[in-house]
């Protein structure tokens, strides 16, 4: 069912709209939320539109600019009309430490409300830019709900970007019917009402702010985001139709949202230089990393990375290290620790013992480059949507270890709908520190994904999805066509 070929009408890319006797290029603002997992796909999106001839302006703050500049270097060199426009980030006005302009630099999760408050103060400078440059469209993050009204003031349509998949967008909407009220204890499973596929969850796996109004700030933010989305021009989704067509249809036809699937966005990066230093400067030179992988056999290395935000305690990191060692597999493990943090999070003598067997990257890895290397046999991930989709693009089976945000929903898609992964077994949405996972559970899951026969089926399925992903962004592919249709529709609005 999931792999039915969609019946798409192919539309030509119409980025140049005829106005009288002249052609005018459309101009789009891309305004990502200031977290790596949001900036990375939105910058890719801007590159994608720019490659179609659209003038793309990425709106960000001064400290976020350098990494974006690096990411768009190649696109600029190719002559694409892509720019960065900075607006001052009011850290001190919002009570944040100086220099805190990205979610990964907030001192603790308790600062999240202040960070959101700071982003609301970006309204005035954004409106100034809208007045001066009058773009044809604003694509902005779901967390910037106020941008719908700001854009409307100038008669400009706003498109919403959530950064997640159709499945999770649908699941969150279905949760508004509160199926979790029908159970008597937090670990009792309930079916997500109306969501195709009889998907079961527990209250423990849900973000607390989706269950209770107690988490006022976050609940209000989500309410505002939903209201703004319903008033906006539509939603752009970093996914491809063949991956989750049932949910893409549900989102559009049952939930009534106007949506375009234009992913996988990471595929807009073609060469090694573009894939390296994506979102941040890599903590290891990609040549060194790839050389290490070149020495390994195909499908023999596990890649473990928990995205840009999850931050485990030292005790949990030790469990991971011990579990990896016990699994006997080769691995690359990305850890959010630097040399300055000391080695308290590692078992005694671990790195020495693991020489040649395991590579630890402290900080930031060239993730897509690693994933697509033929030596990678599995991906242990926190199920951030970018990571899941990058795993799919690379055709690598997944061990799911959700931590926060909508990651427990993404886990269901991976394991129960797509059947391309196995769970590590975490049961509870805890936030960025994550639920505890024992070394034994990790060892078992890693051995299973690397050695069990059942994984051959998963590997075949994910390899097929990888092919479909790549095909979807090629001419006439489903994402290519949807992007063209979107550009055409935006063009029609200008007349
Ligand atoms: N990423 C990376 N190197 C790292 C960690 C993350 O390149 O060491 C990239 C990863 O490829 C993905 C993004 O950062 O594109 C993380 O997004 P995701 O949605 O997976 O998780 P989040 O960081 O939002 O929790």
Check residue 12 and give its pLDDT.
35
| pLDDT range class, residue 24, cuts 50, 70, 90 | low
Q: What is the mean pLDDT of the chain?
A: 92
pLDDT at 92 over 80: yes
Q: For residue 291, how far is its CA from the centre of ligand 1 (angstroms)? A: 22
Rounded Cα distance between 483 and 372, Å, is 25
The two three-digit tokens of residue 134, written as one number: 């009058």
CATH of domain 282-469: 3.40.50.2000
Question: Residue of the nearest CA to atom 13 in ligand 1?
Answer: 37
The radius of gyration of the chain's CA atoms, rounded to the nearest angstrom, is 22
What is the number of the ligand 1 atom nearest to the C-alpha of 310?
A: 25
pLDDT at 19 over 80: no
Q: Of the residues 280, 283, 308, which should be mutated to test ligand 1's pocket, given the most ligand atoms within 8 Å of the CB?
A: 308
247-271 pLDDT, tens digit per residue, is: 999 999 999 999 999 999 999 999 9
What is the number of the ligand 1 atom nearest to the C-alpha of 308?
A: 23
Pocket of ligand 1 (CB under 6 A): 36-37, 40, 278-279, 305, 307-309, 334, 364-365, 367-368, 384-387, 390
Q: What is the dihedral of CA 259, 159, 403, 303, to 10 degrees?
A: 80
Domains of the chain by residue range: 22-87+122-263+473-490, 282-469
pLDDT at 209 over 90: no
CATH architecture of residue range(s) 22-87+122-263+473-490: 3-Layer(aba) Sandwich (3.40)
| pLDDT range class, residue 60, cuts 50, 70, 90 | very high
pLDDT at 16 over 50: no
Cα–Cα distance list, 272 to 39, 277, 290, 472 (Å) = 20, 10, 11, 21
Q: Of the residues 165, 276, 386, 408, which should be mutated to test ligand 1's pocket, given the most ligand atoms within 8 Å of the CB?
A: 386
Question: Residue of the nearest CA to atom 18 in ligand 1?
Answer: 384
151-194 pLDDT, tens digit per residue, is: 999 999 999 999 999 999 999 999 999 999 989 999 999 999 99
Check residue 18 and give its pLDDT.
40
Contacts 24+ apart (CB under 8 A), 112-120: 112/217, 112/218, 113/217, 113/218, 115/34, 116/143, 116/217, 116/221, 118/89, 118/90, 118/91, 118/93, 118/94, 119/33, 119/34, 119/143, 119/144, 120/146
Phi and psi at residue 121, to the nearest 5°: -75, -5
Q: Model's pTM, two decimal places?
A: 0.94
pLDDT at 21 over 60: no
Check residue 480 and give its pLDDT.
98
Check residue 25 and give its pLDDT.
63
Asked if the domains at 22-87+122-263+473-490 and 282-469 fall in one CATH topology, the answer is yes
What is the number of the ligand 1 atom nearest to the C-alpha of 365?
A: 8
Q: For residue 14, how far is its CA from the centre of ligand 1 (angstroms)? A: 32
pLDDT at 15 over 50: no
Please give the residue that has the higher pLDDT: either 9 or 434.
Answer: 434
| pLDDT range class, residue 221, cuts 50, 70, 90 | confident
Check residue 494 and give its pLDDT.
75
Question: Residue of the nearest CA to atom 24 in ligand 1?
Answer: 37
Catalytic positions: 38, 141
What is the number of the ligand 1 atom nearest to the C-alpha of 367?
A: 7
Q: For residue 305, how far is its CA from the centre of ligand 1 (angstroms)? A: 8
pLDDT at 219 over 90: no
What is the number of the ligand 1 atom nearest to the C-alpha of 104?
A: 23
| Mean of pLDDT values over 303-315 | 96
Q: For residue 37, how far is its CA from the centre of ligand 1 (angstroms)? A: 5
Rounded Cα distance between 378 and 301, Å, is 7
pLDDT at 71 over 50: yes
Check residue 201 and give its pLDDT.
97
Q: For residue 306, how far is its CA from the centre of ligand 1 (angstroms)? A: 7
The two three-digit tokens of residue 19, written as one number: 């106005």
290-302 pLDDT, tens digit per residue, is: 999 999 999 999 9
100-149 pLDDT, tens digit per residue, is: 999 988 888 888 888 988 999 999 999 999 999 999 999 999 999 999 99
Q: For residue 105, how far is its CA from the centre of ligand 1 (angstroms)? A: 15
Rounded Cα distance between 96 and 225, Å, is 23
| Mean of pLDDT values over 441-449 | 98
């Amino acid at each position: 069912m999931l792999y039915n070929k969609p019946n798409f009408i192919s539309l030509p890319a119409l980025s140049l709209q005829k106005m009288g006797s002249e052609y005018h290029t459309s101009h789009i603002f891309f305004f990502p939320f200031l977290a790596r997992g949001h900036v990375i796909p939105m910058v890719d999106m801007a590159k994608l539109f720019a490659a179609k001839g659209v003038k793309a302006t990425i709106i960000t703050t001064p400290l976020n600019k350098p990494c974006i500049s690096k990411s768009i270097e190649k696109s600029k060199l190719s002559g694409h009309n892509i720019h960065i426009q900075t607006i001052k980030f009011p850290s001190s006005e919002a009570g944040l430490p100086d220099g805190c302009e990205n979610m990964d630099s907030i001192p603790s999760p308790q600062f999240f409300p202040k960070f959101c408050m700071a982003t609301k103060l970006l309204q005035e400078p954004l409106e100034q830019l809208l007045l001066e440059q009058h773009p044809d469209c604003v694509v902005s993050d779901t967390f910037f709900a106020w941008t719908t009204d700001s854009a409307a003031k100038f008669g400009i349509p706003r498109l919403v970007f959530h950064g997640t998949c159709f499945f999770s967008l649908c699941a969150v909407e279905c949760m508004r019917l509160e199926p979790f009220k029908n159970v008597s204890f937090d670990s009792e499973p309930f079916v997500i009402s109306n969501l195709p596929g009889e998907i079961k969850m527990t209250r423990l796996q849900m973000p607390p702010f989706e269950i209770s109004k107690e988490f006022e700030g976050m609940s209000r933010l989500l309410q505002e985001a939903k209201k703004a989305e319903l008033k906006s021009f539509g939603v752009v989704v970093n996914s491809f139709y063949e991956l989750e067509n049932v949910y893409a249809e549900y989102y559009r036809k049952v939930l009534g949202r106007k949506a375009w699937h234009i992913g996988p966005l990471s595929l807009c990066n073609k060469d090694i230089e573009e894939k390296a230093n994506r979102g941040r400067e890599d903590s290891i030179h990609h040549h060194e990393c790839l050389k290490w992988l070149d020495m390994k056999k195909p499908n023999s290395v596990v890649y473990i990375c928990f995205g840009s935000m999850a931050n485990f305690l030292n005790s949990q990191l030790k469990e991971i290290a011990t579990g990896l060692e016990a699994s006997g597999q080769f691995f690359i493990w990305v850890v959010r620790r630097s040399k300055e943090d000391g080695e308290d999070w590692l078992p005694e003598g671990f790195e020495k013992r693991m020489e040649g067997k395991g590579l630890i990257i402290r900080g930031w890895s060239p993730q897509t480059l690693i994933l697509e290397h033929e030596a990678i046999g599995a991906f242990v991930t926190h199920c951030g949507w970018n990571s899941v989709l990058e795993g799919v693009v690379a055709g690598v089976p997944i061990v799911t270890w959700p931590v926060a945000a909508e990651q427990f929903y993404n886990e269901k898609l991976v394991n129960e709908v797509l059947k391309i992964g196995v769970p590590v077994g975490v049961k509870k949405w805890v936030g960025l520190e994550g639920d505890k996972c024992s070394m034994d559970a990790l060892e078992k899951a890693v051995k299973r994904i690397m050695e069990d026969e059942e994984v051959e089926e998963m590997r075949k399925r994910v390899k097929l999805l990888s092919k479909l992903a790549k095909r979807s962004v090629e001419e006439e592919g489903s994402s290519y066509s949807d992007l063209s249709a979107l550009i055409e529709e935006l063009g029609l609005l200008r007349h």
